[in-house]
Amino acid sequence: MFRAFCFSRCVHPWCDDHHCIGGGYCSCGSLRSAGTLSRFRDPLPVPREKKPFYRSRGKSYYSLTMSQFRQSLHSELPETAVWGFDGTYPGPTIRVKEGELVFVQWNNALPEHHLLPVDHTVHGAGTGVPVVRTVTHVHGASVHPDSDGYPEAWFTKNFEQTGPFFTRKIYRYENRQQPCTLWYHDHALGITRLNVYAGLAGFYLIEPGSKDRRFNLPSGEYDIPLLIQDRSFNVDGSLYYTAQKGSPVEGPETTVVDMFFGDTNLVNGKVWPYLEVKPRKYRFRLLNGANSRVYTLYLDTGQPMYQIATDSGYREKPALLRNLTLAPAERAEVIVDFANMEGSQVVLRNSAPAPFPAGPLPDESTGTVMAFRVKGDPGGIDHFSIPEELNKVPPVSINDVCRTRYLTLDSAADRFGRDLMLLNKLTWDDPVTELPVLGTSEIWFFINLTGHTHPIHLHLVDFQITGRRAIDTEWFKEKGELKYTGPTQPADREEEGWKDTVRANPGEVTGVKARFVPFSGLFVWHCHILEHEDYEMMRPFIVIRPEENP
């Protein structure tokens, strides 16, 4: 079914031997991907849209169920056991209107045993809790705390067991945000990396209300969400996720790893798919749903992508980009015009190092994402446009900032000698130290003292990037003082506008300004490298009411 082949690097981060000993095995003893799979063999699946089971007077009601099933991720692989929502990976797309009140029941019908190896030394994943537990977070949604998918608000099959912060079976989403591309994914403490890797993710799209201008953007069949992830496979088609067997440290056989990079790229749950397009404009909603991999995306024809939206809504004006970088959880909406390209094949490629920004460059496998095949029939006149203006994005001002926080991103080692990433040198269980006041604005500066980029996500709020500035990290570690080594740099072009996730680069201070509205209560902020978030690089914060402010 496929040719024997060994990829250029072992998936184990500690393995320095990058050679095969045959049969798909590395000399360190791990089983790598079974073989080289054909590129652009399978058509791109487009997730179906979920219909509410009831809708009335501006309120909609949904029910989605998580389960295990088998699905073809490449036609040259046996079907793969995955987890998903309503029997699909990715889950169905939830498309709602701006201001529409939406109720969702997230149901767990998963088996008792996990698809992937669980490390019980990770916080929240000890032997005293069920191995399989879930809680769904709509990433980027502005919601009340009890609908946010708090990591300890998990539940098991049929709600038989629940975590200490479990509050409701029905989640409420007000959708008081501007139109944007959000996504939903699992957020259970200590096993998020495993649950998302198994397949628990899908799109949540907020569309303009009836009073909003539509800008004549591509819509319908020309508006396509693209969930990009990396995966590795065993010879039987099953998902491979390293258990770090044979680790040089003394400790558990199954253990958390610092980062995980698969050796194939999937789009909407299919390895290196193709999409037949017409010679006209398309809108693509790009989402990096990988555990750890950063993607720098470009089209091999050199043609531009016109970015119209960031994580949290429309840009002020479209940006003509030849490439754009998305860290895990970041999104971008782009328009690509395939006019006058009949008969061409356009390949979406990736040039980002892994780890980012100073790791090895991608090989042919990880540097390939998907292909667009341009057919001859335009399907009628293309009436869609690329608007000159989209949204009013106010310039970043510090006049209304009531507090500035300096927060470090730190690298340490645990009792087994494993990498341990921390926020402000604190663990998940340490007392809450960030207490913004409801209705106020703050600037958070992330001081990255580690060797690679961390995508930092704040729940509840959208923010704007105030800039980045290089520092002398050794000086800071020794004296605790910021010694800048260059001027402040503005946000990258693809980051201009509203965001909920920001790349904090090594050796830099990255600033974001957020207004903490509209809800008070308990939320979290964390690195969205899922292996980091699972192992202590996540902290709670509490939005307090003005009367609670000391």
| Domains observed in the chain | 54-207 (2.60.40.420), 219-374 (2.60.40.420), 401-548 (2.60.40.420)
Please tell me what DSSP assigns to residue 546. Answer: G
Q: Which helix (H) or strand (E) holds 196?
A: helix 192-198
Distance CA(453)–CA(495), nearest Å, equals 15
Query: Which residues of the chain carry a pLDDT beneath 50?
Result: 1-9, 11-25, 27-31, 34, 245-249
* Owner of token pair 């912060």: 165
DSSP letter (8 states) at residue 335? E
Reduced to 3 states, what is the DSSP secondary structure of residue 495? helix
The pLDDT value given to residue 348: 98
Rounded to an integer, what distance in angstroms lies between the CA atom of residue 469 and that of residue 487? Answer: 6
CB 99: neighbour CB atoms within 10 A? 16
pLDDT of 64: 98
Side chain identity at residue 511, one-letter code: G
pLDDT at 247: 42
Q: What is the pLDDT of residue 9?
A: 47
Tell me the whole-structure pTM to 2 decimals: 0.93
Give how far Cα 331 sits from Cα of 43, 113, 527, Å.
23, 32, 16
